[in-house]
Amino acid sequence: MTQVVINGLLVGASYALLAIGYTLVFGVMRLLTLAHGQVFMASGAIALIAANAYGLPLVVAGLLAVTIGALLSALTDVVSFRPVGYSRPIAAAVSTIGFAIVIERGIIAIRGDETAVPFLFEVNTDFRVGSVQVSLVEVATFVLALVVMVLTSRFLQRSRWGIAMRAFSRDPEAVALLGVPVRRLAVRTLAVAGGLAGLSAFLWVARNRSVAPSDGFAVGLIALAVMTIGGIGSMRGAVIAGLTLGVVVNVLDYQGLRGWQAAVPWMLLLVVLLLRPQGLFGEADA
Amino acid sequence: MANRGWLGYAVPHVALLGETAMTRAKALVLLGIIFALIIAACDDSGDTAQAGDKPPIKIGLITDLSGRFVSFGRDIDAATQLAVEQINANGGVNGSELVIVTSDTAGEPDQAVVGFRTLVNDGVVAVSGPISSGEAEVLFAQAPDLMVPIMTGTANKEGITAVGDGWAFRNTATNTALYAEGMPAWAEEYGIRTAVLVFDEEEPVTAAAARFAIPPVAEAEGIEIVNLDSPVTFARGQTNFATTVQRIREQEADGLIIMSGPAEAGLLARELSRQGEVREILGHPAQASDTFFAQGGDDINHWVLPSILDPEPGDEATRAFLAAMEEVGDDEPVPEAANYFDNIQLFASVMRDAGIDGNTSLDEARRLLREGLLSVSGFQGVAGTISFDESGDAMKTVYVNVVIAGDLQPLG
Amino acid sequence: MGAFATVDFWGLLGISIVAAIGMNLVYITGQLNLGQAAFYAIGAYTAAWIDTELGWPLPALLLAAAVVAGIGAMPIAWGASRLAGIYLIMGTLAAGQLVQVAFGNAEELGGRQGYRIESQIALPEVAASVGVVLILATLLMTSRFGLRMRALFDDSDAAAVAGVAVRRVKIFSVVVSASVVGIAGGMWALWIGKIEPREFGVFLSFDIALYSLIGGVHSLIGAVAGAVVVEVLTGNVIRDVVGPWAFVIYGALVMVLIAVLPEGLVSRSFALRLTAPLRKLRRRRVESGVLSHARVEPAGETVLTVRHVGHRYDGVVALDDVSLEVRGGEVLALIGANGAGKSTLIDVISGRVPNEAGAVTLLGTRIDGMPAHRRKAMGVGRTFQDVRTFAHLTVEESLRLSAADGARSNATVEAMLDRVALGRRRDDLPEALTVAERRRLDIARAAIAMPSVLLLDEPSVGMVEQERIEIAELIGSLRDEGMAVVVVDHNLDLALGLADRVGVLDFGVLIALGSPDAVLADERVRAAYLGHADPLDGVGS
């Protein structure tokens, strides 16, 4: 059982990292990107396709994933948010559905089929603590989630750029009038979120040994639920909700209730929405 | 305040009002151009006029050219084209060329249905396909209404031909037939008395085998499935198998029976090895594709997979077929591609005997083909001899193979 | 063209059109439901199960699909009516996912292996179903109830003030939309012959939402257009031609269309132009009637009483112990600096914000605590400071929405159109009106139900002198018919010129109330205005 709970925490860390990306974008721009899961998937997939084709070293593949994640995510602003306009949040969210389709189907078209891209590096980072087996990759994901949570919260609270970002979320026009380059702010925020998605995608493939085009929504939607459960705009909420969800899902699987585990994030989400719409750790009208 | 609309939508749609007639006109023109291009492209894909004296005979192929089973679909497509080339090189069928019209299902039953009807509408005499039992079930049920013979070379689920009323055929072994051979051979080789059942509950191709074929065969063969009441299941697309393997580890048994698609099988093998869980494994023919070998690496050694094709064929025709396939593709084909090669050869043979050519009326040709197929006996294909039982299932020879160093070899 | 001539192309298109109409019926109330696949699935399984187990005829199957999907939608509708924006999107997404999981686990319905259906639906039956759904939806959308649904798309606050029971209408629209989408699901099950839970995933919900978003939500023509575009771009034909890049093109086009055509292919004004001949044909010559005076009290009677009312925004006092009375046939002008609490007082009386202390009484009945639409029915009419016209309702529709129920409402609308000189503008959308015309429409909407008390928030902002005079005449004539009118206006000329009495608010406190001359002479009023603007600055400007 300990092992199952640990498995859950380690899987949950991936959800949390992705949810932090969603919440960062939403917290700053008040816009929802439904293509974030695809950014995650594509950065892992493209890095692996390139690594498998050209025999790139592991580290290069990792850097590639981060770069692709940041670029694709920043592209969301160029192709979806900007053309639609920051003042049309619903239309902007719908436009990112189009972007998600383009990314996912683009990967499938380039690759020629929908099957998972395999991770062909032979790395074994496993170690045991007592009876519990974990891999260094998983531990890295977990630590990264915590570090990112602390850093982004601090960054948003303290740094000049962070303060501008928070102000942007409240009144983009006023921030623009104050001379803050709104567009650069938006692009940078998305790039940071995307870079994180790329990094977590790389850790994901290193642990799970593959990434499939359908993982974009499969993982992305769960992370979206995690963000909302934790509270939109709350880094702490994203991490706590992500870890909790990882554990609950794995325990259900272990208990032979696998058929219902897909319902867990959505059930939790509905309960939270009806009882505490701002999420567990969100501020009202954040 | 500007964002209040998002949460409370006080003023959400104000910005919707900026559009002009010009942008609408431009968008409509753009859409118009795209639609015109689609229609133009459709015209190109229409029938090409035939130079020969007799019109061609159309045969439909329904397979997965996209989606999860695309590696099967590509080999099946190549085998089908190969059969047609050989037949046409030898003068076609009673002087008419064979033409293949292909429809991609993308692994979705609804697209298979639409594709089937489109092919029938297009004037095919018979249809070869589809790949999965889920698709086959619904197409076979519609074949009597459409009055078109249809023959799968891959769908293994029991009973799917029963709804076909003599129009639906299966040129491959049922799951029961596969495991009636495969399970005892596996058990004997590795001394298996007990086994854990593990399967992908969302994969229709293999879930049927796990639910309906494995338990009765195991009982008949005296192999105890220790977790029959609570099988270890997972979902297709799953990539992290840590907890799945955790559940497997807690079951005391000699062997593992894993029913899933190729990618999941490979990843599960990886996780079993990662957790140091070494067991003898019985898999499903649907796993034997490139994806499985790429994903599984060294960890799939000793997987036992029943098959309808002898990996080291003694038969000359079979060897020629495999050689020709390796020329077309870069890899060894999936074994079932041979069934689809045989499907076309079988159609052609029956049509020759029944005197069908391009001038035979469609209804007549379909009816004659069906009657001919029902009475086929001992047809020599590259994947063994073919005879159909009363429900339309072929009784095929089953071979039991084992993965050795990324290659399928006969067990034992 | 051959591929478009297949029965399947037209059949599936028909089914998509039904689903698109269903989507329009809910998005028209501003609720972007991203869980419609749930109702599609419920409809499909209902039709399939009843067909197999009970063997009902086709119309009964589809009716059952509609009813069960509608019932299934009720809890979701209730939940959705409490949510907005991203929370609504997340909530409906969650509901859709849960229903999919539930069907996957329903072993009696085939579980994940799916469920096979024997009966089939033929193309003429699909066409007939599309026809029936289209006619019923048209009747609903052109009815008074449909008008209430449509008003919610633009502005639920203003709709409530116009008498729309916002939550009830929202719940109804989710349910009726689910029924229609359920019919589409039932048709699809019968068309294909096999259903599997995984077909009813988030992509199906996205496609259904995109029918409305691409085609246009403000008309059923838009729904049809959206279904055609999505169906062609994602259908078998384009995939056979373009191959795996077909969906990439689809996704890219979604982005382009959403950005370039915010209202979709068929915008409201485009639809109005398309249907103009129809409207002309249908419009009966309605005798210009007389506005009903049923509610108006004899002049001089106290109509509205405000007692010790208080309100705070985030701890800042907006109103503090305000008491006043308004009598029938008088104009009370409220003046005060920005943020003095004038608009808040109107909000409290009309029910937009709750009062935290005190009581509001209309003709002897306590109305504080009632929702805005009930107060409207009781006889409270109001306008907003920022003109809150319904962007997608024509002038005539706006008035019809606000008119009191009853057989004479057509005549009432005609009378009001004449009175505010908007007769020629009846089929125009607010964006085509001048500022003054929009104000007149605003006041006409507030006054058409002949409220006992009419609350006007800044009726003359942004107008030139001549237009102001016209507005003043309009307000004066409403007063002369016996309405109690409360006016807040920055233009003191207008306010004082009309007012029988003047109230002065300062930091939420009513510091003076009386005749214009007496109030302007009041020392406290002058003191309060020091440091702000002189109260007389506006006079004569």
The tally of CA atoms less than 13 A away on the side-chain side of residue C293 is 14
- Phi, psi (5° rounding) for residue C493? -55, -50
Neighbours of chain C (3+ CB pairs under 8 A): A, B
Read off the pLDDT of residues C436-447 as tens digits, 9 standing for 90 and up.
899 899 999 999
Dist. CA A186–CA A191, nearest whole Å: 9
Residue of C112, C191, C392 to mutate, testing the B interface (most B Cβ within 10 Å of its Cβ): C112
Q: Is B233 on the interface with C (CB under 8 A)?
A: no
At residue B2, what is the residue type? A
Confidence band for A178, pLDDT divided at 50, 70 and 90: low
Residue of C242, C254, C263 to mutate, testing the A interface (most A Cβ within 10 Å of its Cβ): C254
Least confident of A192-201, C43-52, C258-267, C332-341: C332-341
Q: Looking at the partner chain, which of B15, B230, B246 has a beta carbon nearest the beta carbon of A87?
A: B15
Residue B367, burial from CB neighbour count under 10 angstroms (0-12, 13-18, 19+): middle
The stretch C518-536 carries a mean pLDDT of: 69
List the 16-55 stretch of A: residues with Cβ below 8 A of C. Answer: 26, 32
Radius of gyration (C-alpha) of chain A in whole angstroms: 18
Which pLDDT value is given to residue C297? 56
Torsion of CA A271, A272, A277, A281, to 10 degrees: 170
- Name every residue whose Cβ is closer than 8 Å to that of residue B187 and which is 6 or more positions away in sequence: B193, B221, B223, B255
Task: Please say whether the dihedral angle defined by the alpha carbons of residues C198, C203, C205 and C211, taken in this order, is positive or negative.
Answer: negative
CA of A175 vs chain B CAs: smallest distance (Å): 12
Run of H or E residues at B321? helix B316-328
Which pLDDT value is given to residue C5? 65
Query: How open is the CA angle B386-B115-B369, to the nearest 5 degrees?
Result: 35
The tally of CA atoms less than 13 A away on the side-chain side of residue B94 is 17
Chain B positions touching C229 (Cβ under 8 A) are 31
CA of B114 vs chain C CAs: smallest distance (Å): 6
Which pLDDT value is given to residue B97? 94
Q: Looking at the partner chain, which of C153, C194, C238 has a beta carbon nearest the beta carbon of B38?
A: C238
Q: Are strands C509-514 and C316-327 parallel, antiparallel or unpaired?
A: unpaired
Q: What is the mean pLDDT of chain C?
A: 88
Per the CB < 8 Å rule, is B240 touching A208?
yes
The stretch C44-63 carries a mean pLDDT of: 96
Per the CB < 8 Å rule, is C198 touching B202?
yes
Which pLDDT value is given to residue B45? 47
Which pLDDT value is given to residue B14? 32
Per the CB < 8 Å rule, is A115 touching B291?
yes
Q: Is B93 left (phi over 0), alpha (psi -120 to 50) or beta?
A: beta
In the block, which residue shows the tokens 């064979």? B98
Per the CB < 8 Å rule, is B6 touching C237?
no
Chain B positions touching A212 (Cβ under 8 A) are 237, 239, 263
Chain A positions touching B240 (Cβ under 8 A) are 7, 11, 207-208
Dist. CA A64–CA A45, nearest whole Å: 10
Neighbours of chain B (3+ CB pairs under 8 A): A, C
Which pLDDT value is given to residue B12? 29
Least confident of B38-42, B325-329, C452-456: B38-42
The stretch C78-102 carries a mean pLDDT of: 92
DSSP B211: I
CA of A71 vs chain B CAs: smallest distance (Å): 26
Q: Looking at the partner chain, which of B38, B39, B204 has a beta carbon nearest the beta carbon of C113?
A: B204
Dist. CA C104–CA C198, nearest whole Å: 8
Task: Please say whether the dihedral angle defined by the alpha carbons of residues B154, B159, B163 and B164, taken in this order, is positive or negative.
Answer: positive
Asked whether the predicted pLDDT for residue C531 surpasses 70, the reply is no
Chain B positions touching A208 (Cβ under 8 A) are 239-240, 267
Q: What is the 3-state secondary structure (H, E, C) of C209-234?
A: HHHHHHHCCCCHHHHHHHHHHHHHHH
Contact between C66 and C179 under an 8 Å Cβ cutoff? The reply is yes
Least confident of A174-188, B51-65, C130-144, C341-355: A174-188
What is chain A written as a DSSP string? -HHHHHHHHHHHHHHHHHHHHHHHHHHHHS---TTHHHHHHHHHHHHHHHHHHHT--HHHHHHHHHHHHHHHHHHHIIIIIHHH-TT-HHHHHHHHHHHHHHHHHHHHHHHSSSSPEE-------EEEETTEEEEHHHHHHHHHHHHHHHHHHHHHHHSHHHHHHHHHHH-HHHHHHTT--HHHHHHHHHHHHHHHHHHHHHHHHHHHSEE-TTHHHHHHHHHHHHHHHH-TT-HHHHHHHHHHHHHHHHHHHHTT-HHHHTTHHHHHHHHHHHH-TT-SSPPTT-
Chain B positions touching A116 (Cβ under 8 A) are 239, 263, 291, 295
CA end-to-end distance (rounded Å), chain C: 70
Contact between C427 and C279 under an 8 Å Cβ cutoff? The reply is yes
Asked whether the predicted pLDDT for residue A66 surpasses 90, the reply is yes
DSSP B388: B
Distances (CA, A) of B76 to B79, B84, B139, B400: 5, 12, 18, 21
List the 140-199 stretch of B: residues with Cβ below 8 A of C. Answer: 141-142, 145
Chain B positions touching A256 (Cβ under 8 A) are 230, 247
Least confident of B36-45, B53-62, B166-175, C163-172: B36-45
Confidence band for A181, pLDDT divided at 50, 70 and 90: confident
CA of C105 vs chain A CAs: smallest distance (Å): 6
Least confident of B48-52, C15-19, C111-115, C536-540: C536-540
Distances (CA, A) of C90 to A189, A265, A277, C258: 22, 11, 11, 20
In the block, which residue shows the tokens 């439901």? C33
Q: Respond yes or no on whether the N-terminal peptide bond of residue B215 is cis (omega within 30° of 0).
A: no
What is B17-61 written as a DSSP string? GG--HHHHHHHHHHHHHHHHHHHHHHHHTSPPPP-SSS--EEEEE
Which pLDDT value is given to residue B393? 93
Residue in chain A closest to C76 (alpha carbons) equals A270
* C-beta neighbour count of C10 within 10 angstroms: 15
* C-beta neighbour count of C88 within 10 angstroms: 25
Which pLDDT value is given to residue A169? 65
The stretch A125-150 carries a mean pLDDT of: 89
Residue in chain C closest to A217 (alpha carbons) equals C202
CA of A243 vs chain C CAs: smallest distance (Å): 19
Task: Please say whether the dihedral angle defined by the alpha carbons of residues B280, B284, B289 and B295, taken in this order, is positive or negative.
Answer: negative
Q: Which two tokens stand for residue B228?
A: 């029959």
Dist. CA B57–CA B50, nearest whole Å: 11
Residue of C23, C82, C83, C86 to mutate, testing the A interface (most A Cβ within 10 Å of its Cβ): C86
Residue in chain A closest to B13 (alpha carbons) equals A88
Dist. CA C50–CA A55, nearest whole Å: 57
DSSP C155: -
At residue A78, what is the residue type? V
Contact between C454 and C482 under an 8 Å Cβ cutoff? The reply is no
Q: What is the mean pLDDT of chain B?
A: 87
CA of C199 vs chain B CAs: smallest distance (Å): 8
Task: Give the E-state strand segments of C434-492 in sequence order.
Answer: 453-457, 484-488
Chain A positions touching C245 (Cβ under 8 A) are 105, 109
Dist. CA C148–CA A121, nearest whole Å: 61
Per the CB < 8 Å rule, is A115 touching B274?
no
Asked whether the predicted pLDDT for residue C408 surpasses 80, the reply is no
Q: Which two tokens stand for residue B320?
A: 């020629």
Per the CB < 8 Å rule, is B267 touching A126?
no
Pick from B224, B231, B337: which is nearest to B285 by CA?
B337
Confidence band for C295, pLDDT divided at 50, 70 and 90: low
The stretch C56-64 carries a mean pLDDT of: 96
Residues, chain C, total?
541
Asked whether the predicted pLDDT for residue A141 surpasses 70, the reply is yes
Which pLDDT value is given to residue B329? 75
CA of C205 vs chain A CAs: smallest distance (Å): 11
Dist. CA C351–CA C347, nearest whole Å: 6
CA of C344 vs chain A CAs: smallest distance (Å): 21
Contact between C38 and C96 under an 8 Å Cβ cutoff? The reply is yes
Asked whether the predicted pLDDT for residue C256 surpasses 80, the reply is yes
Q: Are strands C484-488 and C331-335 parallel, antiparallel or unpaired?
A: parallel
Q: Which two tokens stand for residue A3?
A: 């092992």
Q: Helical H runs in B147-195?
A: 175-190
Dist. CA C92–CA C83, nearest whole Å: 10
* C-beta neighbour count of A230 within 10 angstroms: 29
CA of C437 vs chain B CAs: smallest distance (Å): 18
Asked whether the predicted pLDDT for residue B239 surpasses 90, the reply is no
In the block, which residue shows the tokens 């948003």? A156
Contact between B130 and B63 under an 8 Å Cβ cutoff? The reply is yes
Residue B1 CA from chain centroid, whole number: 57
Contact between A23 and A230 under an 8 Å Cβ cutoff? The reply is yes
Per the CB < 8 Å rule, is A259 touching C32?
no
Which pLDDT value is given to residue C519? 85
Q: Looking at the partner chain, which of A87, A170, A253 has a beta carbon nearest the beta carbon of B243?
A: A253
Which pLDDT value is given to residue B17? 37
Task: Please say whether the dihedral angle defined by the alpha carbons of residues A217, A223, A229 and A231, taken in this order, is positive or negative.
Answer: negative
Contact between C159 and C151 under an 8 Å Cβ cutoff? The reply is yes
Per the CB < 8 Å rule, is B2 touching A172?
yes
Pick from C422, C376, C428, C439: which is nearest to C403 by CA?
C376
Q: Looking at the partner chain, which of C1, C240, C263 has a beta carbon nearest the beta carbon of B39?
A: C1
DSSP B93: B
% of chain B with per-residue pLDDT over 70: 91
Which pLDDT value is given to residue C292? 52
DSSP B67: S
Contact between B160 and B168 under an 8 Å Cβ cutoff? The reply is yes
Residue B80, burial from CB neighbour count under 10 angstroms (0-12, 13-18, 19+): buried
ipTM: 0.92
Asked whether the predicted pLDDT for residue A76 surpasses 70, the reply is yes
Asked whether the predicted pLDDT for residue C93 surpasses 50, the reply is yes
